[in-house]
Amino acid sequence: MNSTPEKPTVSSLKASIERVTSVHRWTDKLFSFRTTRPAGYQFTPGQFARLGVVSGEEILWRAYSITSAADDNELEYFLVQVPGGQFSEQLKNLKPGDPMLVEKFSYGFMTTERFVDGEDLWMLATGTGLGPFISILQDPTVWQKFRNLILVHCVRNADELAYQELLASLPFRPQLAVGGARLQLLRATTRDTRVAAGNLQGRITGLLADGTLEAAAGLDISVEKSRIMMCGNPEMITATRELLHQRGLRPCRRTVPGQFVTEDYW
Protein backbone atom coordinates (compact mmCIF):
# COMPACT_ATOMS: atom_id res chain seq x y z
CA MET A 1 0.00 0.00 0.00
CA ASN A 2 1.88 3.06 -1.23
CA SER A 3 1.86 6.55 0.19
CA THR A 4 -0.11 9.07 -1.85
CA PRO A 5 0.85 12.77 -1.61
CA GLU A 6 -1.60 15.61 -2.16
CA LYS A 7 -1.86 19.29 -1.35
CA PRO A 8 -3.06 19.87 2.26
CA THR A 9 -6.28 21.78 1.69
CA VAL A 10 -8.14 21.35 4.98
CA SER A 11 -11.49 22.32 3.49
CA SER A 12 -11.41 19.29 1.16
CA LEU A 13 -10.22 16.73 3.68
CA LYS A 14 -12.37 13.65 4.15
CA ALA A 15 -10.58 13.16 7.45
CA SER A 16 -10.38 14.46 10.98
CA ILE A 17 -7.35 15.70 12.84
CA GLU A 18 -6.66 13.31 15.73
CA ARG A 19 -3.89 13.23 18.33
CA VAL A 20 -1.36 10.54 19.13
CA THR A 21 -1.96 9.31 22.68
CA SER A 22 0.89 6.79 23.09
CA VAL A 23 3.82 5.20 21.26
CA HIS A 24 5.34 1.79 22.03
CA ARG A 25 8.71 0.71 20.61
CA TRP A 26 8.90 -3.09 20.27
CA THR A 27 12.32 -3.10 18.57
CA ASP A 28 14.45 -0.49 16.81
CA LYS A 29 12.27 -1.03 13.71
CA LEU A 30 8.88 -2.14 15.04
CA PHE A 31 6.51 0.16 16.89
CA SER A 32 2.85 0.72 17.57
CA PHE A 33 0.95 3.88 18.36
CA ARG A 34 -2.52 4.91 19.40
CA THR A 35 -4.58 7.95 18.46
CA THR A 36 -7.84 9.46 19.57
CA ARG A 37 -10.79 8.01 17.71
CA PRO A 38 -12.82 10.20 15.34
CA ALA A 39 -16.37 10.81 16.51
CA GLY A 40 -18.67 8.17 15.06
CA TYR A 41 -15.81 6.18 13.51
CA GLN A 42 -16.83 2.59 12.74
CA PHE A 43 -14.83 -0.41 11.57
CA THR A 44 -15.04 -4.18 11.46
CA PRO A 45 -12.09 -6.07 13.00
CA GLY A 46 -9.69 -6.91 10.18
CA GLN A 47 -10.21 -3.64 8.30
CA PHE A 48 -7.70 -0.84 7.82
CA ALA A 49 -7.72 2.94 8.10
CA ARG A 50 -6.07 5.59 5.96
CA LEU A 51 -3.74 7.87 7.91
CA GLY A 52 -2.25 11.12 6.78
CA VAL A 53 0.71 13.24 7.85
CA VAL A 54 1.75 16.66 6.58
CA SER A 55 5.11 16.76 4.85
CA GLY A 56 6.06 20.22 3.67
CA GLU A 57 3.30 21.34 1.33
CA GLU A 58 1.85 17.87 0.88
CA ILE A 59 -0.18 15.34 2.82
CA LEU A 60 1.11 11.78 2.65
CA TRP A 61 -1.45 8.99 3.02
CA ARG A 62 -0.89 5.39 3.99
CA ALA A 63 -3.25 2.52 4.86
CA TYR A 64 -2.69 0.57 8.09
CA SER A 65 -4.70 -2.21 9.68
CA ILE A 66 -6.37 -1.31 12.95
CA THR A 67 -5.18 -3.44 15.87
CA SER A 68 -7.50 -2.10 18.55
CA ALA A 69 -10.80 -3.69 19.53
CA ALA A 70 -13.88 -2.45 17.68
CA ASP A 71 -15.29 -0.88 20.87
CA ASP A 72 -12.03 0.73 22.03
CA ASN A 73 -12.17 4.51 22.47
CA GLU A 74 -8.80 4.85 20.70
CA LEU A 75 -7.33 3.48 17.46
CA GLU A 76 -4.07 1.53 17.42
CA TYR A 77 -1.67 0.59 14.62
CA PHE A 78 1.37 -1.73 14.34
CA LEU A 79 4.11 -0.58 11.95
CA VAL A 80 7.61 -1.29 10.72
CA GLN A 81 10.06 1.57 10.24
CA VAL A 82 11.10 1.46 6.58
CA PRO A 83 14.54 3.08 6.06
CA GLY A 84 14.02 5.99 3.70
CA GLY A 85 10.29 5.30 3.53
CA GLN A 86 8.45 8.47 2.57
CA PHE A 87 5.68 7.95 5.13
CA SER A 88 7.43 6.10 7.94
CA GLU A 89 10.23 8.66 8.00
CA GLN A 90 7.59 11.14 9.14
CA LEU A 91 6.83 8.86 12.08
CA LYS A 92 10.42 8.29 13.19
CA ASN A 93 10.12 10.73 16.09
CA LEU A 94 6.40 10.30 16.70
CA LYS A 95 5.31 11.23 20.22
CA PRO A 96 2.11 11.74 22.23
CA GLY A 97 0.33 14.92 21.26
CA ASP A 98 1.40 14.85 17.62
CA PRO A 99 -1.40 15.32 15.05
CA MET A 100 -2.52 12.49 12.77
CA LEU A 101 -5.11 12.69 10.03
CA VAL A 102 -7.58 9.79 10.03
CA GLU A 103 -9.97 9.31 7.12
CA LYS A 104 -13.59 9.07 8.19
CA PHE A 105 -14.16 5.62 6.67
CA SER A 106 -12.57 2.21 7.17
CA TYR A 107 -11.68 -0.14 4.34
CA GLY A 108 -10.95 -3.76 3.54
CA PHE A 109 -12.63 -7.14 3.19
CA MET A 110 -10.41 -9.38 5.33
CA THR A 111 -13.05 -9.96 7.99
CA THR A 112 -14.54 -13.10 9.51
CA GLU A 113 -17.91 -12.06 8.10
CA ARG A 114 -16.65 -13.48 4.80
CA PHE A 115 -16.97 -17.00 6.19
CA VAL A 116 -20.44 -18.53 6.27
CA ASP A 117 -19.37 -21.71 8.10
CA GLY A 118 -16.33 -23.56 9.46
CA GLU A 119 -15.07 -24.68 12.86
CA ASP A 120 -11.37 -23.76 12.90
CA LEU A 121 -10.10 -20.24 12.15
CA TRP A 122 -6.43 -20.19 11.12
CA MET A 123 -4.77 -16.76 11.11
CA LEU A 124 -1.41 -16.75 9.31
CA ALA A 125 0.73 -13.63 9.74
CA THR A 126 4.23 -12.48 8.93
CA GLY A 127 5.74 -9.43 10.63
CA THR A 128 3.31 -6.57 11.10
CA GLY A 129 0.69 -8.63 9.30
CA LEU A 130 -0.18 -9.61 12.86
CA GLY A 131 -2.01 -6.29 13.27
CA PRO A 132 -5.52 -7.12 12.03
CA PHE A 133 -5.56 -10.39 13.97
CA ILE A 134 -5.00 -8.50 17.23
CA SER A 135 -8.28 -6.71 16.53
CA ILE A 136 -10.09 -9.83 15.29
CA LEU A 137 -9.14 -11.81 18.39
CA GLN A 138 -10.66 -9.12 20.61
CA ASP A 139 -14.06 -9.59 18.95
CA PRO A 140 -16.41 -11.72 21.11
CA THR A 141 -18.39 -12.87 18.05
CA VAL A 142 -15.29 -14.62 16.68
CA TRP A 143 -15.01 -16.68 19.88
CA GLN A 144 -18.65 -17.66 19.44
CA LYS A 145 -18.46 -18.42 15.72
CA PHE A 146 -15.48 -20.81 15.77
CA ARG A 147 -14.46 -23.75 17.94
CA ASN A 148 -10.69 -23.32 17.49
CA LEU A 149 -8.68 -20.13 16.91
CA ILE A 150 -5.13 -20.72 15.70
CA LEU A 151 -2.82 -17.71 15.34
CA VAL A 152 0.47 -18.33 13.51
CA HIS A 153 2.96 -15.46 13.68
CA CYS A 154 6.22 -15.80 11.74
CA VAL A 155 9.10 -13.33 12.14
CA ARG A 156 12.82 -13.27 11.51
CA ASN A 157 13.96 -13.04 15.14
CA ALA A 158 12.19 -13.81 18.41
CA ASP A 159 12.37 -10.20 19.64
CA GLU A 160 9.93 -9.31 16.84
CA LEU A 161 7.16 -11.43 18.38
CA ALA A 162 5.07 -8.48 19.54
CA TYR A 163 1.87 -8.35 21.59
CA GLN A 164 2.65 -11.58 23.45
CA GLU A 165 1.25 -10.45 26.81
CA LEU A 166 -1.97 -9.20 25.25
CA LEU A 167 -2.46 -12.40 23.24
CA ALA A 168 -1.82 -14.61 26.26
CA SER A 169 -4.41 -12.69 28.26
CA LEU A 170 -7.27 -13.03 25.78
CA PRO A 171 -8.64 -16.41 26.94
CA PHE A 172 -9.03 -14.92 30.42
CA ARG A 173 -11.29 -12.07 29.34
CA PRO A 174 -14.81 -13.04 30.44
CA GLN A 175 -16.48 -11.54 27.37
CA LEU A 176 -14.29 -13.72 25.13
CA ALA A 177 -14.12 -16.88 27.23
CA VAL A 178 -17.90 -17.17 27.31
CA GLY A 179 -17.78 -17.88 23.57
CA GLY A 180 -16.18 -21.26 24.24
CA ALA A 181 -13.43 -21.19 21.59
CA ARG A 182 -9.89 -22.45 22.25
CA LEU A 183 -7.00 -20.14 21.29
CA GLN A 184 -3.64 -21.53 20.20
CA LEU A 185 -0.61 -19.28 19.62
CA LEU A 186 1.98 -20.75 17.25
CA ARG A 187 5.15 -18.68 16.91
CA ALA A 188 7.85 -19.22 14.29
CA THR A 189 11.22 -17.64 13.54
CA THR A 190 13.20 -17.87 10.31
CA ARG A 191 16.63 -16.51 11.31
CA ASP A 192 16.90 -16.76 15.08
CA THR A 193 18.95 -19.86 15.91
CA ARG A 194 18.15 -19.54 19.62
CA VAL A 195 14.63 -20.84 19.28
CA ALA A 196 12.65 -20.44 22.49
CA ALA A 197 10.83 -23.42 23.91
CA GLY A 198 7.59 -23.97 22.05
CA ASN A 199 8.54 -21.81 19.05
CA LEU A 200 8.74 -23.30 15.57
CA GLN A 201 11.63 -22.80 13.15
CA GLY A 202 10.97 -21.96 9.51
CA ARG A 203 8.67 -20.12 7.16
CA ILE A 204 4.91 -20.53 7.23
CA THR A 205 4.90 -22.12 3.78
CA GLY A 206 7.45 -24.73 4.75
CA LEU A 207 5.74 -25.49 8.04
CA LEU A 208 2.43 -25.88 6.21
CA ALA A 209 3.87 -28.01 3.42
CA ASP A 210 5.56 -30.55 5.73
CA GLY A 211 2.64 -30.80 8.17
CA THR A 212 4.41 -29.08 11.09
CA LEU A 213 1.69 -26.45 11.59
CA GLU A 214 -1.10 -29.00 11.76
CA ALA A 215 0.91 -31.24 14.06
CA ALA A 216 1.66 -28.32 16.40
CA ALA A 217 -2.01 -27.35 16.53
CA GLY A 218 -3.29 -30.92 16.67
CA LEU A 219 -5.75 -30.01 13.90
CA ASP A 220 -5.96 -30.88 10.21
CA ILE A 221 -6.61 -28.23 7.59
CA SER A 222 -9.64 -29.30 5.58
CA VAL A 223 -12.26 -27.87 3.25
CA GLU A 224 -15.03 -28.80 5.65
CA LYS A 225 -13.71 -27.33 8.91
CA SER A 226 -10.88 -24.88 8.20
CA ARG A 227 -11.23 -21.19 7.43
CA ILE A 228 -7.98 -19.35 6.83
CA MET A 229 -6.92 -15.70 6.89
CA MET A 230 -3.50 -14.61 5.63
CA CYS A 231 -1.84 -11.24 6.12
CA GLY A 232 1.73 -10.13 5.49
CA ASN A 233 4.45 -10.74 2.95
CA PRO A 234 2.86 -11.20 -0.52
CA GLU A 235 5.34 -13.98 -1.32
CA MET A 236 4.06 -15.92 1.68
CA ILE A 237 0.48 -15.31 0.64
CA THR A 238 1.05 -16.38 -2.96
CA ALA A 239 2.85 -19.58 -1.96
CA THR A 240 0.35 -20.42 0.78
CA ARG A 241 -2.57 -19.81 -1.55
CA GLU A 242 -1.07 -22.36 -3.95
CA LEU A 243 -0.64 -24.93 -1.18
CA LEU A 244 -4.27 -24.45 -0.15
CA HIS A 245 -5.45 -24.76 -3.75
CA GLN A 246 -3.68 -28.10 -3.93
CA ARG A 247 -5.76 -29.25 -0.97
CA GLY A 248 -8.99 -28.15 -2.58
CA LEU A 249 -9.49 -24.92 -0.61
CA ARG A 250 -10.66 -21.84 -2.49
CA PRO A 251 -10.74 -18.07 -1.85
CA CYS A 252 -13.93 -16.38 -0.70
CA ARG A 253 -15.75 -14.56 -3.48
CA ARG A 254 -18.60 -12.09 -3.23
CA THR A 255 -21.12 -14.63 -4.42
CA VAL A 256 -19.32 -17.91 -3.74
CA PRO A 257 -18.40 -19.05 -0.20
CA GLY A 258 -14.77 -20.12 0.18
CA GLN A 259 -12.22 -21.18 2.75
CA PHE A 260 -9.65 -18.36 2.80
CA VAL A 261 -9.16 -14.60 2.53
CA THR A 262 -5.94 -12.59 2.20
CA GLU A 263 -4.40 -9.15 2.72
CA ASP A 264 -1.02 -8.25 1.20
CA TYR A 265 1.19 -6.08 3.42
CA TRP A 266 3.73 -4.71 0.99
Domain extents in the chain = 4-103, 112-264
Where residue 225 falls among pLDDT bands split at 50, 70, 90? Answer: very high
What's the confidence (pLDDT) of residue 11?
A: 42
Percent of the chain with pLDDT over 70: 92
Looking at domain 112-264, which of 3.40.50.80, 2.60.120.10, 3.40.50.720, 3.30.420.40 is its CATH number? 3.40.50.80
- Helix, strand, or coil here: 8? coil
Beta-carbon contacts of residue 219 (< 8 Å; ≥ 6 apart): 120, 148, 150, 225, 226
Tens of pLDDT along 6-16? 555 544 468 99
What's the confidence (pLDDT) of residue 4?
A: 54
Mean pLDDT for the stretch of residues 190-210: 86
Mean pLDDT for the stretch of residues 251-259: 90
Mean pLDDT for the stretch of residues 63-74: 97
What's the confidence (pLDDT) of residue 150?
A: 98
Where residue 196 falls among pLDDT bands split at 50, 70, 90? Answer: low
What's the confidence (pLDDT) of residue 45?
A: 98
- For residue 243, which amino acid is it? L
Rg, the chain, Cα only: 19
What's the confidence (pLDDT) of residue 55?
A: 85
| 234, containing H or E segment | helix 234-246
pLDDT at 99 > cutoff 60:
yes
Based on the number of CB atoms within 10 Å of its own CB, is 74 exposed (0-12), middle (13-18) or buried (19 or more)? middle
pLDDT at 100 > cutoff 70:
yes
* Distance in angstroms (rounded) separating the CA atoms of residues 56 and 228: 42
* Distance in angstroms (rounded) separating the CA atoms of residues 126 and 203: 9
Mean pLDDT for the stretch of residues 218-239: 96
DSSP-assigned beta bridge partners for residue 16: 102
Based on the number of CB atoms within 10 Å of its own CB, is 165 exposed (0-12), middle (13-18) or buried (19 or more)? exposed
* Distance in angstroms (rounded) separating the CA atoms of residues 161 and 143: 23
Where residue 85 falls among pLDDT bands split at 50, 70, 90? Answer: confident
Beta-carbon contacts of residue 12 (< 8 Å; ≥ 6 apart): none
Tens of pLDDT along 117-171? 999 999 999 999 999 999 999 999 999 999 999 999 999 999 999 999 999 999 9
User: Comparing 4-103 with 112-264, is the CATH topology the same?
Assistant: no
SS3 breakdown of the chain: % helix, strand, coil, rounded to 5? 25, 35, 40
pLDDT at 84 > cutoff 90:
no
Query: Which CATH class name applies to 4-103?
Result: mainly beta
What's the confidence (pLDDT) of residue 115?
A: 96
The answer to whether 205 touches 239, Cβ cutoff 8 Å, is yes
Going by C-alpha positions, the residue among 107, 155, 109, 122 that lies closest to residue 230 is 122
